[in-house]
């Protein structure tokens, strides 16, 4: 793998990840871009003890452009995009409309109850391929492995930035999910706090360890591997529908070895992940007549806390509950956070096993 770094005309970093060590990419961005907004701020919710990011400048971000105006395609034929090169394998760059920015500043003082801070962090876009019509499920293993290497590289570098507490790699696919660019891509958020879901999981895991010994995630994996909700398993990974799945189609992928984050995976574990992930994604696309919209979310350990109890895993889920129906978060889910599911996890696991 070859990594090449440069900067776009407004100062944002861009990284090319290439299969071929001899690949040559265009490093000069000819555009004249205005500086990126650094107005993001965070307000602390005293009721839930959570930070909420305010990034009003994102209202003007690019929204569902036609393919010939896609900002994630390579530049060429008179079209200048976020990628200056006429071709690329994988490209990663700082988001032009970031929720979090290392240069963020806020003059809001807050109140005794509601603290306010600049939303200092970083948001990056990961372009999985130069092919606008591709999808992750369609990638050959070597392309998926290159994306995984980019995730590992960026996780390590972003974790080293001052003030970063958690790095989150994810993909949103499908307009039903809220995707605003159809080009195959994902994002990475480097948060200045530990996110609510991660903090909750690790608090529960810490309590479980104190009361029962052992690791909660490892015990969940062991129980699932012995049960009926496994979709596919391999030497180093198991994909299963969790017993208390919240989403109509939800699969978790766990490595058999406890590791805190993507950079900690061995080469064999990385190769094996690629095989099992592409398998599961293909099942998602075959479940109904059209590909499932989904969110693919890496759960990594925080940078500075609870790394001894954390357990890297991937959560893959869709809001489609039937071929022609979507699950909308209604009163119980949205207001109370109490999920009610329309399908049994065991049935979903059986359906996914069959669609090969």
Active site residues: 185
- Cα–chain-centroid distance for residue 292? 17
Residue 76 burial (10 A CB sphere; 0-12, 13-18, 19+):
middle
Residue bearing tokens 């893959």: 316
Phi, psi of 225 (to 5 degrees): -65, -25
| Cα distance between residue 192 and residue 343, in whole Å | 36
Tell me if 70 is assigned to a ligand binding site. Answer: yes
- DSSP SS3 for 4: strand
164: which 2 tokens?
């970063």
Alpha carbon of 91 to those of 48, 49, 94, 149, 304: distances in Å?
Answer: 37, 36, 10, 12, 28
Contact 315, 179 (CB under 8 A): no
Round to whole Å and give the CA distance between 88 and 195: 33
Q: Is 123 annotated as a binding residue?
A: no
183 is in an annotated binding site: yes
**Interior CA angle at 244 toward 241 and 249, to 5°?**
45
Residue 236 assigned as binding residue: no
* Residue in the structure block whose two tokens are 């062991």: 222
Strand partners, 44: 51
Q: Which of 62, 124, 116, 65 is nearest to 98 (CA)?
A: 124
- The DSSP 8-state label assigned to residue 58 in this structure reads G
Q: How far is residue 245's CA from residue 251's CA, in Å, rounded to a whole number?
A: 8
Q: How far is Cα of residue 212 from the mean position of the Cα atoms in its chain?
A: 31
Neighbours of 20 (CB within 10 A): 9
Helix (H) or strand (E) segment spanning residue 126: strand 122-127
Cα 163 from Cα 161, distance rounded (Å): 6
Beta strand spans in 192-248 (E) = 230-233, 237-240
Residue positions in the annotated binding site for Zn(2+)?
Answer: 70, 73, 132, 183
């Amino acid at each position: 793998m070859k990594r090449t770094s440069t900067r776009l005309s407004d100062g944002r970093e861009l990284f090319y990840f290439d299969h071929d060590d001899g690949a040559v990419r265009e490093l000069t961005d000819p555009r004249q871009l205005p500086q990126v907004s650094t107005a993001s701020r965070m307000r602390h919710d005293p009721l839930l003890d959570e930070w909420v990011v305010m990034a009003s400048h994102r209202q003007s971000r690019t929204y569902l452009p036609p393919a010939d105006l896609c900002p994630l395609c390579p530049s060429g034929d008179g079209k200048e995009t976020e990628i200056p090169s006429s071709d690329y394998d994988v490209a990663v760059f700082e988001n032009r409309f970031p929720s979090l920015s290392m240069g963020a500043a806020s003059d809001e003082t807050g109140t005794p109850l509601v603290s306010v801070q600049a939303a200092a962090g970083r948001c990056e876009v990961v372009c999985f391929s130069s092919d606008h019509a591709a999808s992750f499920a369609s990638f050959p293993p070597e392309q998926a492995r290159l994306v995984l290497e980019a995730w590992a590289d960026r996780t390590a570098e972003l974790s080293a930035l001052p003030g970063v507490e958690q790095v989150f790699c994810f993909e949103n696919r499908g307009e039903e999910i809220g995707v605003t660019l159809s080009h195959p891509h994902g994002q990475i958020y480097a948060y200045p706090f530990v996110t609510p879901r991660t903090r909750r999981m690790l608090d529960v895991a810490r309590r479980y360890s104190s009361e029962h010994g052992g690791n909660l995630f490892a015990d969940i994996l062991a129980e699932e591997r012995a049960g009926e909700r496994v979709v596919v398993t391999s030497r180093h990974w198991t994909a299963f529908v969790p017993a208390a799945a919240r989403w109509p189609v939800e699969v978790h992928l766990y490595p058999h070895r406890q590791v805190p984050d993507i950079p900690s995976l061995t080469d064999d574990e990385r190769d094996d992940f690629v095989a099992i992930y592409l398998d599961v994604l293909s099942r998602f696309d075959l479940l109904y007549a059209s590909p499932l919209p989904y969110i693919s979310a890496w759960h990594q350990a925080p940078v500075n806390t609870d790394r001894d109890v954390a357990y890297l895993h991937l959560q893959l889920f869709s809001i489609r509950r039937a071929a022609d129906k979507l699950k909308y978060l209604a009163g119980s889910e949205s207001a109370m956070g109490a999920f009610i599911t329309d399908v049994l996890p065991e049935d979903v696991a059986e359906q996914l096993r069959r669609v090969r």
